[in-house]
Structure 1
Amino acid sequence: MFQNFFKSFSPHDVGIDLGTASVLVYIKDRGIVLREPSVVAIDKKSGKLLSVGDEARLMLGRTPGNIVAIRPLRDGVISDYDVTERMLRYFLQKVVGKNLFRRPRVVVCVPSGVTEVEKRSVVEATCEAGARHCYLIEEPIAAAIGAGIDIGKPRGTMVVDVGGGTTDIAVISLGGAVVSHSIKVAGDKFDEAITRFMRRKYNLLVGERTAEDLKINIGSAFPRKEQVFMEVTGRNLISGLPKTVRVGSDEMIEALEEPVQQLLEAVHLVLEKTPPELAADISDSGIIMTGGGALLYGLHRLIQEHTKVPCYVAEDPDSCVAIGTGKALEEISVYAETAVFDYKRGM
């Protein structure tokens, strides 16, 4: 229906992985040109935008009273519309330029479980930020494309995309999601679980960035052959003074037990709802994991042990959704006739 229209995409059309933790921007024929945290720093008195992305992330937990560092997306959806629109405008102008005659058409990824109201919010924010038209693609479908899977075949493929705010699980066949499920348990919930663990076990209050560093450096969902350690400094909740403790990777298994268990249950639920023929395909080809959360040590091994189905981490899992968006852009005439795009008319 939109095949001829899609063929007219210009070189300035872009794909955006609008994530809770980070934003990745893909420009047709150029690849990923921007990868920055989805954080914005604003002066509370004047409302002036002070910094966006990497610079704003450095301010998290370190701002004076008149400056606030905001993450405008929570659990995979927009929590602050105005700030999201300003952040998108900044990123689009950074990669495309401020020339109004080159307003791009934009494909944006959204979690599979978002409502129509949340979809409309993404579309409107993107168009207000300077897009000429906006199209939506569900994250697990984009992730599958980015992982190099031919989603157009009549064969079942299961994708588990563990992002910052949501984990999207889908069984894909013939270009569409046959069964899908989205839970608000992902990287952010891992960080929160680590923060609670440090408070409970060590009476130590650690910040958001410190919890994330623990997750990245020694976070584990499955026992390692050799335990690794990391020194962490925070505020002692009893004395109120700075304190440093040595934390091991085995402790991270305990810290992350609750969110990891919720993720396992969600994977199990999707497999239970999968038609038998597609389940047989998945049993042969395995489960593909994408997203930054897929890099948590041993998570794919734990899923494999739990489901008895082979589980693999895609190459460059953190970029799969953005790459998939870009591939959908570059092969628009192929994907336009499938259920890949949830078409939304822009300005």
Structure 2
Amino acid sequence: MLNEPTIVAVDTDSDKVLAVGDEAYKMVGRTPAHIIAARPLKDGVISDHVLTREIVRRLMLKAYHSQVVKPRVAVCVPAAISGIESDAAVEAVVAAGARKVYLVDEPIAAALGARIDIMQPRGHLVVDIGGGTTDIAVISMGGKVQSSSVKMAGNTLDAAIVRHMRRKFKLLIGEKSAEILKREVGCCTPHAGFSATTEVKGRSIETGLPRRMEIRTEDLYEPIDDCMDELAVAVHNVLERTPPELAADIIDHGIMLTGGGALLRGLDQLVSSHTGIDVHVAETPLDCVATGAGMVLDNMDLLVEVVADAERKF
């Protein structure tokens, strides 16, 4: 399984793509003026068709080691995606060399990847916290009963940490440093019983010079708590719209967290405290959506049941 960020390094003088994925991520914040590290996906949907096509093309080449192979591709999309946005996703993947494209709702794929039997007449609540969006869905009998997409996700939290470091500690850091802070010392609540310290490097606003400092878990409670409270409220709002019988099922089965954001320490406790419902983190939350998409491609009966749009053939 390939697991790489959707980042493209582009030479703006020649419009040449220099790198994608992990190689491009290494360049973030370290490029000269004529090279940019761009994110062609914004809030879970395509913002740059050409660069998205190039990412998909290069990753397919990396996976199959051949441009001759024209694979079937499952594209997982946010629950609230528009028709125009879904068409753009299909067109970009087809232009990259796909033979057939299927659209699958991200929370459906996440539930499958978390080994939830979504075809049964039972309600399950899945919260998939990605980089650009968080998708929240009540699922039963292979479909969404209630759902919501919010822009509070991993990238939002990274940006909040950058702003917090600037305001409170007068230190300018980049998004990569913010992500490292989140991963190494981030925690939602003191009740999680976690405390750690790590070093961060940046530029002092006061002197303009490079500076390093120690950051504790406690130093990041404020930005993390603000963002995660917003997410917990969104989960609460979906539950308020859930039919009573399915709500009863969710009480029995609990809430499932998937996506990279599910790895944030204490998030399960925070959501549980807001909803009064047990919360579980998937065994491999980062892989759930990709695993679920693969299950859809491998099972035609399942594909017919859960595909979000009509099959697109090209």
TM-score, normalising length: structure 1? 0.88
Name the Cα RMSD after superposition.
1.1
The aligned runs of 1:111-126 (5 Å cut-off) are 111-126=78-93
Contact 1:131/1:346 (8 A) holds in 2: no
Q: Where does residue 42 of structure 2 map in the other structure?
A: 74
Identity across the alignment (%): 50
**Count of aligned pairs:** 313
**1:298 maps to 2:261:** no
Deviation, structure 1 residue 226: 4.6
Out of 47, 51, 58, the residue aligned to residue 83 of structure 1 is 51
Name the structure 1 match of 2:95.
128
Query: Shift of residue 257 of structure 1?
Result: 2.1
Displaced runs of 4 or more, over 6 A: none
Q: 1:141 aligns with which of 108, 129, 143?
A: 108
Structure 2 counterpart of 1:78, which letter?
I
Gap regions ≥5 residues in structure 1: 1-31
What TM-score do you get using the length of structure 2 for normalisation?
Answer: 0.97
1:54 aligns with 2:22: yes
Contact preservation (8 Å) 2:102, 2:307: no
Q: Kindly state the Cα deviation for residue 253 of structure 1 after the two structures are TM-superposed.
A: 1.4
**Cα pair 1:204 1:236 within 8 Å, conserved:** yes
Pairing partner for 2:248 from 274, 280, 285: 280
How far apart are residue 110 of structure 1 and its match?
A: 0.5
| 2:193 matches 1:225 | yes
Matched position secondary structure for 2:36: strand
Segment of structure 1 superposing worse, 44-53 or 313-322: 44-53
* Equivalent residue runs for 1:186-225 within 5 Å: 186-223=153-190, 224-225=192-193
**CA deviation after TM superposition for structure 1 residue 328, in Å:** 1.2
Report 1:197-346 matches (<5 A): 197-223=164-190, 224-336=192-304, 338-346=305-313
Q: 1:155 aligns with which of 122, 147, 155?
A: 122
Which amino acid in 2 is paired with 1:307? Answer: T
2:139 aligned with 1:167:
no
The CA deviation at 1:335 is 3.5
Q: Which has the higher contact order (CA 8 A, sep 6+)?
A: 1
Higher alpha-carbon deviation: 39-48 or 285-294: 39-48
Q: Is the 8 A contact 1:176 1:340 kept in 2?
A: no
